Amino acid sequence: MLRGMAGNRSLTVVIAAYNEEAALPEMHRRLSAVLDGLDAGSRVLYVDDGSRDGTWGVLQRLAEADPRVSLLRLARNFGKELALTAGLDHVDTDAALVLDADGQDPPELIPAFVAKWREGFDVVYGTRTRRDGETWLKRLTAAGFYRVMTRLSDTPIPRDTGDFRLMSRPVLDALRQLRERQRFMKGLFTWVGFRQVSLPYERAPRLAGGSKFNYWRLWNLALEGITSFSTVPLRLATYVGVLTALVAFAWGVWIVARTLLWGDPVQGWPSLMTVVLFLGGVQLVALGIIGEYLGRLYVEVKQRPLYLVSEARLPR
């Protein structure tokens, strides 16, 4: 089909949408204008991530009007990472480009991504130079997260990188082999390697609606990122344990010596409580860390499918 058209290689733009009925028509208008001017065969694949509003209806109308558009509808809201996985699994062109449905990643930049791809890069990822319409708290927590991630993980995740990126066929094939359930896409994208290049861009405010990610979701995404790309927290538990044991040993020696020298009138309830509570706390934290990993292991061994598609409208 589109694949391998002489010289101009083909591209699929993958867009995950969750309750985006307000933003999609404008988004698609801008996207079509860009794709019309592109000298490569192009398609658009919208993944409806179990939206509760009129998103699916809007998407169907877009597909009626534009033969480039194909659709996937997931059986429920699986979350952005899995929605993107579903989309990327169904791409059969020479490259895929991931875009947000809310217009925050400007489609007007697609030609720049394609140009880098033509230069021979396999992954072109957008790096945000500015974050308009985001609170200082979000910027601060995002910066903190990237710092922690770089420290903890062997797979350094480029700072301020979203999911706005172009990936060539070899990278898509590599990603398809990573079937882990706990999908931290930014990490997986980096993990696969290949020739990667950054493309700086300014992240615009949303076209409509609000972010689907509140701080609780972001915190969980951060935990996902850390636990799936680092086992340092487990080792940390060991070190804290060793340190506590050493301090306890030294203190024990001191208590015995003191008792031998000066005797031991009954005393020491406050210190006893302090030690018991401290050790209890440290042990619970260590158990919690083990639990985080064990829980993920449990989910992983169940080997459930990553996502379920309820309806599809794909090119034949």
The residues that touch ligand UDP, with contacts defined as CB under 6 A, are 16-18, 20, 49, 77, 79-80, 83, 100-102, 104, 211-213
275 half-sphere exposure, CB direction, 13 A CA radius: 12
Cα–chain center distance at 163: 8
Task: Kindly state the smallest distance separating residue 102's Cβ from Mg ion, in Å.
Answer: 4
Task: Kindly state the smallest distance separating residue 267's Cβ from ligand UDP, in Å.
Answer: 57
Task: Kindly state the smallest distance separating residue 27's Cβ from ligand UDP, in Å.
Answer: 9
Q: Which residues of the shown chain bind Mg ion in the complex (CB under 5 A)?
A: 100, 102, 104
Task: Kindly state the smallest distance separating residue 32's Cβ from ligand UDP, in Å.
Answer: 17
Q: Phi and psi of 23, rounded to 5°?
A: -90, -25
**CA 98 to CA 166: how far, in whole Å?**
6
98 vs 286, which CB is nearer to Mg ion? Answer: 98
SS3 72: strand
169-176 and 80-89 helices cross at what angle (nearest 10)? Answer: 120
Task: Kindly state the smallest distance separating residue 10's Cβ from Mg ion, in Å.
Answer: 27
121 vs 146, which CB is nearer to Mg ion? Answer: 146
Binding partner of residue 81 among ligand UDP, Mg ion, none, CB cut-off 5 to 8 Å per kind = none
Binding partner of residue 80 among Mg ion, ligand UDP, none, CB cut-off 5 to 8 Å per kind = ligand UDP
Q: Which residue has the tokens 């509570």?
A: 277
**CA 66 to CA 201: how far, in whole Å?**
28
73 vs 203, which CB is nearer to Mg ion? Answer: 203
Task: Kindly state the smallest distance separating residue 63's Cβ from ligand UDP, in Å.
Answer: 17
77 vs 161, which CB is nearer to ligand UDP? Answer: 77
78 vs 113, which CB is nearer to ligand UDP? Answer: 78
Binding partner of residue 77 among Mg ion, ligand UDP, none, CB cut-off 5 to 8 Å per kind = ligand UDP
Q: CA 171 → CA 83, 190, 194, distances in Å?
A: 18, 10, 7
The answer to whether 53 and 21 have CB atoms below 8 angstroms apart is yes
The answer to whether 103 and 78 have CB atoms below 8 angstroms apart is no
Binding partner of residue 93 among ligand UDP, Mg ion, none, CB cut-off 5 to 8 Å per kind = none
Task: Kindly state the smallest distance separating residue 102's Cβ from ligand UDP, in Å.
Answer: 5
Task: Kindly state the smallest distance separating residue 210's Cβ from ligand UDP, in Å.
Answer: 7
104 vs 168, which CB is nearer to Mg ion? Answer: 104
Binding partner of residue 21 among Mg ion, ligand UDP, none, CB cut-off 5 to 8 Å per kind = none
DSSP for 91-109 reads: --SSEEEEEETTSSS-GGG
41 vs 79, which CB is nearer to ligand UDP? Answer: 79
101 vs 289, which CB is nearer to ligand UDP? Answer: 101
Task: Bin 286: left if φ > 0, else alpha if -120 < ψ < 50, else beta.
Answer: alpha
Q: Where are the alpha helices (DSSP H) in the chain?
A: 24-36, 55-65, 80-89, 110-118, 136-152, 169-176, 185-191, 215-229, 232-262, 269-301
Residues 6+ apart with CB under 8 A from 84: 14, 16, 47, 98, 163, 185
